[in-house]
Amino acid sequence: MVRNSAERILTELHGEFRHIFDDQELRSRLLEACGSVSRVPDDLSYYLVDDVSVQTTPDGEVDVHWFCHLGDDRLDIAVFRLRTKELSLCGQSLSFVEGAKVASAMDPDMAEAVLAALELQKASGLDLFERWCFASDEWRRSHLICPVCGDRIYPYRADDRMFHAGCDRCGWESQKKYYYESKFADVESMKAERKRAKKAHEREMAFKEQYQKLTDQINSYGLAAIHESPKNEVFHHYLDGLRKAQEMLKNTETTMLEKLKSKR
Ligand SMILES: [Zn+2]
């Protein structure tokens, strides 16, 4: 039937990807086009952001457009013209699909067409999540991804019956809990999750930098201190300095523990 032919064509095309990219040269070009990944992604749709739509031409021909969302644009990877036949069933006229042929394509070779589309996605500079934001609501709902690295996610209900999600690849975990799984397909909610994850990462990096500076300073002070002779006056300055530093650290710890207590 015309109404389900587009999905059928897309499923068949996706099924062919595995065989097409068995070829070593094509595979290495594919890996490069996907952003130098180490293995062929399980589902190229996440990289292509591809979908299908059925359109009837002014002269009544039915075309299935296989396109990718490239930013705000829709770019046809290939257009298939359906050969249809009207049949009458119990007095009802139905349009059956007898076959399909390629009417136009980015490249007559489907592997080259896919590679060309992937190259354009890569050249757009958008990462997987940013590409995902441009897809339709329906597409996003069936392609839930981690807002940080773009890997596939599978939200689950936890004890509070709310939906949570986490990413096996980068360790991201949803900061918010959601009543509906479909919230993980909502652009604004996922952008907010991405922003929160970015902020948390920045705080973690700032801590690591501060901690490194602190330990470097302690090490260099300690090295100078233990090499000093007790015969020299400065030996006692080092010792005093050490005690003062310990006191300063202790005071900071007390303040932090107080903050923790008031939070409880
Ligand atoms: Zn991730």
For residue 19, report the distance from its CA to the centre of ligand 1, in Å.
28
For residue 98, report the distance from its CA to the centre of ligand 1, in Å.
43
Which pLDDT score, from 0 to 100, does residue 91 have? 85
For residue 177, report the distance from its CA to the centre of ligand 1, in Å.
17
Model confidence at 201, in pLDDT bands (50, 70, 90)? very high
In this structure, the number of other CB atoms found within 10 A of the CB of residue 26 comes to 16
Residue 127 pLDDT > 90: yes
Q: What is the DSSP letter of 182?
A: G
For residue 45, report the distance from its CA to the centre of ligand 1, in Å.
17
Model confidence at 262, in pLDDT bands (50, 70, 90)? confident
Cβ-based burial of 170 (10 A; exposed 0-12, middle 13-18, buried ≥19): middle
213 vs 207: CA distance, rounded Å? 10
For residue 129, report the distance from its CA to the centre of ligand 1, in Å.
10
**Nearest CA to 127 among 232, 219, 37?**
37
For residue 154, report the distance from its CA to the centre of ligand 1, in Å.
12
For residue 171, report the distance from its CA to the centre of ligand 1, in Å.
6
129 vs 47: CA distance, rounded Å? 10
Backbone torsions φ then ψ of 184, nearest 5 degrees:
-75, -5
Residue 36 pLDDT > 80: no
**Each residue of 147-186: pLDDT tens digit?**
999 999 999 998 889 999 999 999 999 999 999 999 999 9
Q: What is the DSSP letter of 22?
A: T
The DSSP bridge partners found for residue 1 are none
Which pLDDT score, from 0 to 100, does residue 18 have? 79
For residue 173, report the distance from its CA to the centre of ligand 1, in Å.
8
For residue 145, report the distance from its CA to the centre of ligand 1, in Å.
8
Q: 13-27, 106-120, 217-231 — which is least confidently predicted?
A: 13-27
Model confidence at 11, in pLDDT bands (50, 70, 90)? very high
Contact (CB, 8 A) for 65 and 139: no
Which pLDDT score, from 0 to 100, does residue 183 have? 94
233 is written with which tokens?
Answer: 């006056």
83 vs 92: CA distance, rounded Å? 20
98 is written with which tokens?
Answer: 């007898």
257 is written with which tokens?
Answer: 């523990």
Between residues 18 and 116, the one the model is more confident about: 116
Q: Which amino acid is at 187?
A: V
Which pLDDT score, from 0 to 100, does residue 40 have? 84
For residue 197, report the distance from its CA to the centre of ligand 1, in Å.
10
For residue 71, report the distance from its CA to the centre of ligand 1, in Å.
21
209 is written with which tokens?
Answer: 């930098």
What's the rounded mean pLDDT across residues 13-28?
A: 88
DSSP result, 201-243: HHHHHHHHHHHHHHHHHHHHHHHHHHTS-TTSHHHHHHHHHHH
Residue 264 pLDDT > 80: no
Residue 35 pLDDT > 90: no
Which pLDDT score, from 0 to 100, does residue 258 have? 94
Residue 24 pLDDT > 80: yes
For residue 125, report the distance from its CA to the centre of ligand 1, in Å.
18
For residue 169, report the distance from its CA to the centre of ligand 1, in Å.
5
**Nearest CA to 141 among 190, 78, 96, 93?**
190
**Each residue of 241-252: pLDDT tens digit?**
999 999 999 999
For residue 100, report the distance from its CA to the centre of ligand 1, in Å.
39
137 vs 143: CA distance, rounded Å? 10
What's the rounded mean pLDDT across residues 201-226?
A: 96
For residue 64, report the distance from its CA to the centre of ligand 1, in Å.
33
pTM: 0.80
For residue 74, report the distance from its CA to the centre of ligand 1, in Å.
26
Model confidence at 42, in pLDDT bands (50, 70, 90)? confident
For residue 212, report the distance from its CA to the centre of ligand 1, in Å.
27
**Each residue of 63-93: pLDDT tens digit?**
999 999 999 999 999 999 999 888 888 888 8
**Chain-wide mean pLDDT for the chain?**
93
Which pLDDT score, from 0 to 100, does residue 38 have? 84
For residue 166, report the distance from its CA to the centre of ligand 1, in Å.
8
